Structure 1
Amino acid sequence: MHDPQFLHINLLMLAREEMKNKSNKSVKALLFDLGGVLVDIDFNRAFNNWSNNTESSAEIIKSKFRFDSFYKSHEIGEINSGEYFDSLRKSLDIDITDQQFEDGWNSIFISEVYGISRLLRVLKKKIPMYVFSNTNNLHQRYWLNEYQSILSNFETIFTSSDLRKRKPDPEAFLSVADIIGIKPNQILFFDDLLENIHGAKKVGFKTVQVHTILDIERGIKQFVDLN
């Protein structure tokens, strides 16, 4: 015969596990980064492109490039693209036109992540989805046109240049949650950069750092009830 006390303990453990699973799966919206999560990007493509229009090698340009204050100001709309390119002329020590800068700037986008289109089509039928990207007006105009097919799956696309706040600023995440109208702890956020994951966690978002599409699929399985 089974020990009644043993059975009681087992039932309690099962009940706690079920409650934990339900708590984990309280997500009501998905929030995705763009570059490195939905679309593959490579800044080396910009350096190679710019080097074709100057005597500096791609390696030298890369060694001088920084995600500096001008870069961040560009992403929150404090300076326009012309002003940012002026800063690059000085910091990279290359004298190319704004159009040449723009061509290289937009060349960082490679293609949508393999398999992401299929996954998004499935998820769209189950749960609201949003994008939050640190970006500038030039990039935004480019990828809105280039990746219409996958971006059409999202309710809203939030950008740092529109919000005037960028990841990993906790206030940026709170603004997004407020606009969506869902509590932070009911949003599952996917990003490839650890600093952005930390920023989202600070305000209560559930998070998944993305290295491949498999991380997205695992996160969905762990946190989202699709039934």
Structure 2
Amino acid sequence: MKGIKHIIFDLGGVIINLDYQATYKAFEALGVKEFTSLYNQFSLNTLFDDLETGKVGPEVFLNEMQQHTAPGTTHQQIIDAWNAMLLDFPLRRLQILQQLRQHYGLYLLSNTNAIHLERFNRILQESRGIPSLAAFFDRAYYSHEIGLRKPTPESFEYVLEENGLNPAETLFIDDTLPNIEGAKAVGLQTIHLEPPKTMADIFR
């Protein structure tokens, strides 16, 4: 941490626990025969990317997903299935953020979407009595709000430039290797948080 003045955190798999299989299973229960194949198909036609960069809103996503679920499936059922992957905020990780904020500038940079944003803030409120993740950071950046997603250089540069951060003095922590490599490309210091390692293994 020598020379580090700022830390940019990823969200999923770093601060909040995720279970992608829970969403796959929830969609299969709604009649989607092979969610992984559907996800790959939507990745090719950019639906998920467009949702995560704010090019399309939740309504478009929900209507499209409805075409692939059993007849009569409601938007709320699709929302619940999509949110099934979002688990919990371990208390120790939130405590670490509070401690770090006394010594570093803290920022969040997450590839996410409006449906997940509403849900993970509700999980935080219901489990910890904190209404928003923004409480832990100087600024929180969500891909669907800024129109940029990791690992593009522009997503990292957006955070650096808006806050006047020197990448050599800024640490980026993520559990996904392409995002780490994208951050390195713009000069950020990085930690690849590979499972089963957690924040508690880095900050004791």
TM-score by length of 2: 0.84
Q: Which residue of 2 aligns with 1:14?
A: none
How far did residue 136 of structure 1 move? Answer: 0.7
- Cα offset for 1:217? 5.6
Matched to 1:200, the amino acid is A
RMSD: 2.4
Aligned length: 194
| Aligned ranges 1:140-219 → 2 under 5 Å | 140-148=117-125, 149=130, 151=133, 152-212=135-195, 214=197, 216=199
Of 74, 79, 84, the residue aligned with 1:97 is: 74
What SS class does the counterpart of residue 84 from structure 1 fall into? helix
Choose from 15, 31, 39 the match for 1:65: 39
Which whole-Å CA distance do the structure 1 matches of 2:124 and 2:117 have between them? 11
Matched residue of 2:104: which SS? Answer: coil
Quote the Cα distance in structure 2 between the aligned partners of 1:89 and 1:203.
39
Q: Distance in 1 between matches of 2:186 and 2:172?
A: 12
| Partner SS for 1:44 | helix
Which residue does the alignment assign to 2:28? Answer: 51
On the 8 A contact 1:50/1:100 being kept in 2, the answer is no
The reply to whether residue 32 of structure 1 matches residue 6 of structure 2 is: no
**Residues 31-75 of structure 1 deviation map (CA, whole Å, 9 limit, x = unaligned):** 100001000111211122233333x55xx3334322611100100
Q: Give, in angstroms, the shift of residue 208 of structure 1.
A: 0.6
Deviation, 1:176, is: 0.6
1:131 counterpart residue number: 108
Equivalent pair of 2:96/2:203 in contact (CA under 8 Å): no
**Contact map agreement 1:113 1:213 (CA 8 A) in 2:** no
Shift, 1:30, TM fit: 0.6
Q: Distance in 2 between matches of 1:37 and 1:98?
A: 29
- 1:101 deviation in Å? 0.8
1:79 counterpart = 2:56 = yes
SS at match of 1:207: strand
Give me the identity figure in percent.
27
1:161, CA displacement in angstroms? 0.9
Query: Is the helix fraction higher in 1 or 2?
Result: 1
Matches within 5 A, 1:106-125: 106-113=83-90, 115-125=92-102
Question: Hey, what's the Cα distance between the residues in 1 that align with 2:20 and 2:11?
Answer: 15
Instruction: Please give the secondary structure, in 2, of the residue aligned with 1:146.
Output: helix
Q: 1:200 to 1:187 in 2, by over 3 A?
A: same
Q: Once structures 1 and 2 are overlaid, which stretch shifts more, 104-113 or 196-205?
A: 104-113
* Secondary structure in 2 matching 1:162: helix
Structure 2 gap ranges (5+)? none
Partner Cα separation in structure 2 for residue 52 and residue 215 of structure 1:
31
Unaligned runs of 5+ in 1: 1-23, 222-227
Pick which of 181-190 and 197-206 moved more.
181-190
Structure 1 letter corresponding to 2:35: I
Give the conservation status (yes or no) of the 8 Å contact 2:92–2:200. no
